[in-house]
A and B are shown apart, each in its own frame.
Chain A
Amino acid sequence: DSGVTQTPKHLITATGQRVTLRCSPRSGDLSVYWYQQSLDQGLQFLIQYYNGEERAKGNILERFSAQQFPDLHSELNLSSLELGDSALYFCASSVEADLGLLDEQYFGPGTRLTVT
């Protein structure tokens, strides 16, 4: 158990719908990362938040957005869903107390999204 929790574990929804994925980082971790794992794209970084602020952005679609709340949990919002959005979405967290510290990221169990 990494200490990172994600809900829900599975999500099945229809095209055009909107869903919210939730992540709670490990206690004490200030940074939250979101990754998408799909068969054709592999593991891709989407976005990072550090202590409530957006810090880095990857290949995140405009239909997707995220935020980190004062209690440090994070939500990833996916809207106007398409079949190609079906994937495993991971949240990871790390301490990142200091700039330049290359600390490891601990991953949650993931949310498997199926768009039908």
Chain B
Amino acid sequence: AQKITQTQPGMFVQEKEAVTLDCTYDTSDPSYGLFWYKQPSSGEMIFLIYQGSYDQQNATEGRYSLNFQKARKSANLVISASQLGDSAMYFCAMREAPVQGFQKLVFGTGTRLLVSP
């Protein structure tokens, strides 16, 4: 069964510094996708970045990059040059490739990031 583990319930970082949010996953399927979402205090879920299991390069989207280590089954999110607006809950999620139909996203428990001035 799919499983996502985020071991950091909370992280603190100073403005302009980089921070890494950890995510490990467990799947027996060779084809899967990994996603990161941001949930600010207002509640909405904002898609940040996606990494496919067959992608050769780590995904990047602006200040967000995904440190994908397939052998270790980890997909850590790196936020460079943190901003106050980055303070939010961050969720890692995984989706296996559909075999008998479309599959759901499975979410980790999240990491609360607090950026201080």
Contacts and interface: CB of A to CB of B under 8 A. Distances in A.
Given A100-B97, A102-B52, A102-B95, A107 B45 contact: yes
Interface in B50-75: 50, 52
Interface in A22-58: 31, 33, 35, 42-45, 48, 50, 55-56, 58
Nearest to A1: B44
Nearest to B109: A42
Interface of B: 31-33, 35, 37, 42-47, 50, 52, 91, 95, 97-98, 101-107, 109-110
Contact of B102 (A31, A35, A90): A31
A41 to B, nearest CB: 10
A61 to B, nearest CB: 16
Interface residues of A, number: 28
7 contacts: A2-B47, A31-B102, A45-B104, A92-B45, A100-B97, A107-B46, A110-B44
Nearest to A109: B44
Given A56-B104, A96-B102, A104 B43 contact: no
B47 A42 contact: no
A42 B107 contact: yes
Interface string A85-101: 00010101000100110
Nearest to B100: A56
